[in-house]
Structure 1
């Protein structure tokens, strides 16, 4: 039996920052890989 799309997306694991391990609070159309704190610490 196929799983509904809503259940599929609900069951995906939370995104975690690879730098510090903090859980990233995702928003629509966001493709960030690091958390805001780690991004702010990077030199430009």
Structure 2
């Protein structure tokens, strides 16, 4: 049986920053791979 789209997205694991291991707060239309803190450190 094919799961509903709602169930599929609910069961996805949380996104983790590859730099520091912190969980990333996901937002609609966001394709960030790193957390805000690591992105800010790269800009400095």
TM-score with structure 1 setting the length: 0.93
- Paired residues, number: 44
* Structure 2 runs not aligned, ≥5 long: none
Give, in whole Å, the separation in 2 of the partners of 1:10 and 1:31: 18
Superposition CA RMSD, Å: 1.1
Structure having the larger proportion of residues in helix: 2
TM-score with structure 2 setting the length: 0.93
Q: CA deviation at 1:2?
A: 1.1
Moved over 6 A (4+): none
Q: Which residue of 1 aligns with 2:42?
A: 42
* Structure 1 runs not aligned, ≥5 long: none
